[in-house]
Structure 1
Amino acid sequence: MKLKALIPALALSFAAPFASAATFSDTFDTGLSGWTALGDVALVNGTVALTTASATFEDDIGLALNLSGHDPLAVGMPDGLEHGLSLPLGALDGDALSQATEGSALVRTFSVTAGDRLRFDWMLSTVDTAEAGFGLDYAFVVIDGQRIDLGTAASATPSGNAPYAADTGWSTFEYVFTGSGSVTLGVGVVDVLDYTASSQLQLDNFSIAAVPEPETYAMLIAGLGLIGAIARRRARV
C-alpha cells in the first residue's frame, strides 16, 4: 500500500474512538429547543441569559434588567424555583442568614454514560455589590438533586459590562458523571436576602462527551508512531 493511502487509513482507524465521543452539544444558535426555562430566561447576543430581575416591580435603582417579561420564580415557596429543579424547599438557601428569595434557571434531562463529561461556559454579572446590596447572589448547577455553586456576587469584580456593576468573567464548568442513565441538569441564579439588587447568569457552549479511555490514547500514540516510522523508512528508500 502506498504511504499516501496508508496514512489516511491509519488516521481514520485511530480516530474512530473519538469520532463518536460527542453525545450532545448546544450553542443556542437555534434557540432553547429541548430546554425548560424557569423565570426570566432569554437569548442575548448568542448566549442564553438568566436574571433575578423583576418584570413587574422596579428594582436595581431604576435599571431595567428583566429580559423576557417573565418574573423570576420565588424561592422557598411551593411551586417555586425549587419545585422546577426537583429540589426540596430550602435547598437553595445558604444558612439562616443567607436565604435565597427569587431566581431563574434552565433545565434539561439527558441520558449519560459513566465517564461522560459535561462542560459549559458561564459568567455571572451583578449589581449586588457590597455597596448596593449584600454580595450574596450566586449562580449554581444542580445535577440530580446535588447543588454545586459556580460563583457569587462577592467574587465578581468591577467591569464595563453595563448595566451591571461587576462580573466574574467567563469560566468553564466541568463535571464527570460517575453513573449511567437519565440525569436532570439545572443551571440557575438566585437573589439572596433581597429582591432589589439583581444578578444575571450567561451560559454558552454546552456539551456532554465521552472521555476517551487511557488505552484509546495509547492506541492513538502507537498509530502516530507507526505512521512516522513508515514515513522515515520510505524517505530512506
Structure 2
Amino acid sequence: MKFNTILTSVSRTLTAAGLLSLTSAMAHAAPLTTWQTAGDVTQNTQLGGIPLGQTSYVLGTATFNAVDDAPLAAGALNLSGQNPLEIGDLTATIGLPGASLDDETNSHFAYEGSAMFNTVNVQAGDTLSFDWRLFGQINTSAMPTPDAAWLILGNTAIKLADVDSLSTVNNTWLDSGSQHISHTFTQAGSMKIGFVVADVDSYDTTSVLAIQNIGLTAAVPEPEGLALALTGLFILRRMSRRSHQS
C-alpha cells in the first residue's frame, strides 16, 4: 500500500516535470506524408528540365485543356492531367473563407489554383518545417505576374511569395530558389496545414509551387525536466525491485 502511494506521488511529479509529455511527444513526432489534394497536384523530382533535388509535391495553375502559356499548346505545363479549381471551389474545398487569397488592398484577386492540405493534432512547442520553391513561367507582357503561393495554418493564409517578386531566370521560369520555413505552434489542438498556389488577376501564365521535406517535430523538453524524469524512472525501478523482494 505504501509503495502504491509513493508510486502515485512520483507519477504525479513526473507528469508535472514533463516525463509523460515527453513520452507523448515522442510518439507524436512524425513526418507528414498523407495529404488531400485539389486541382493540379502531383509528385516529381523535376520541373521540366529543372531538378528539384528530391521527390517533391508540385502544385500548378496550368489548365489541361486550355491555352495558358501561348505559344505553348493547351496543357503543355499541366502537371497531373487535372485542372486547377476555380478559386471559390478551391477555398471551399480547403475550408477557407472565400476572400482568403485576395489582396484587396492592392486590388489583386485570385482566379484559380491548386492545393494540398491535411488536418493534424499538434502540441504546444511542436514545430512544422518544410522547404518550398516558387516558379513562374516567364511572362513576356509588360505587366508583372502577381500569381502567388501560400502556407495555410488553420483558417489563415500566409503568403510565401508572389511571382512578380522573383528575379532569377532558370530555363523558361522565374525561380525563387529553395527556401526553408519553420513554425512553432504555441497551442495544442487540431490544426489544418496546407499549401496553395494560384493564378492572380488572370488565368494566363502558369505558376508552380514545389514543396519537400515536410515534417512535424515534437517539442524538446527542458534539460532540467528531462533529468528529473530520468531520476524518477530510476526511483520507480528501485522501488519495484524492493517490492518484489519483500
Residue 161 of structure 2 aligns to a residue whose secondary structure is strand
In structure 2, distance between residues paired with 1:60 and 1:217: 58
Residue 102 of structure 1 aligns to a residue whose secondary structure is strand
The answer to whether residue 24 in structure 2 is matched with residue 24 in structure 1 is: no
Q: 2:167 maps to what in 1?
A: 157
Distance 1:206 1:59, change over 3 A: same
Unpaired runs of at least 5, structure 1 = 1-16, 29-33, 220-237
Q: 1:99 maps to what in 2?
A: 109
Q: 1:44 maps to what in 2?
A: 44
Unpaired runs of at least 5, structure 2 = 1-21, 46-54, 228-246
Distance 1:151 1:217, change over 3 A: farther
Q: 2:86 maps to what in 1?
A: 74
Cα offsets for 1:22-66 (capped at 9, x unmatched): 71215x6xxxxx211110001111111000111120111233110
Q: What is the CA distance between 1:211 and its match in structure 2? A: 3.0
The answer to whether residue 119 in structure 2 is matched with residue 113 in structure 1 is: no
Q: What is the CA distance between 1:156 and its match in structure 2? A: 1.5
Q: What is the CA distance between 1:214 and its match in structure 2? A: 3.9
Distance 1:37 1:60, change over 3 A: same
- Aligned partner (choices 78, 85, 99) of residue 94 of structure 2: 85
Q: What is the CA distance between 1:202 and its match in structure 2? A: 0.2
Is contact 1:133-1:197 (8 Å) kept? no
Cα offsets for 1:57-101 (capped at 9, x unmatched): 0111233110111110111x3xx1111121121111011620110
Q: What is the CA distance between 1:128 and its match in structure 2? A: 5.7
Q: What is the CA distance between 1:131 and its match in structure 2? A: 3.9
Q: 2:50 maps to what in 1?
A: none
Q: 1:187 maps to what in 2?
A: 195
In structure 2, distance between residues paired with 1:88 and 1:108: 17
Greater alpha carbon shift after TM alignment, 113-122 vs 129-138:
129-138
In structure 2, distance between residues paired with 1:133 and 1:43: 31
**TM-score, with length taken from structure 1:** 0.74
Q: What is the CA distance between 1:142 and its match in structure 2? A: 1.1
Is contact 1:128-1:153 (8 Å) kept? no
Structure 2: which amino acid aligns with 1:165?
Answer: W
Is contact 1:129-1:166 (8 Å) kept? no
**TM-score, with length taken from structure 2:** 0.71
- Aligned partner (choices 90, 109, 125) of residue 135 of structure 2: 125
Q: 1:234 maps to what in 2?
A: none
Q: What is the CA distance between 1:178 and its match in structure 2? A: 1.4
Distance 1:62 1:130, change over 3 A: closer
Is contact 1:22-1:207 (8 Å) kept? no
The answer to whether residue 58 in structure 2 is matched with residue 58 in structure 1 is: no
The answer to whether residue 20 in structure 2 is matched with residue 35 in structure 1 is: no
| Matched-pair identity in % | 32
In structure 2, distance between residues paired with 1:42 and 1:60: 20
In structure 2, distance between residues paired with 1:20 and 1:171: 27
Is contact 1:110-1:184 (8 Å) kept? yes
Count of residues in Structure 1 that have an aligned counterpart in Structure 2: 192
Is contact 2:39-2:85 (8 Å) kept? yes
C-alpha root-mean-square deviation of aligned residues, in Å?
2.3
Structure 1: which amino acid aligns with 2:85?
Answer: L
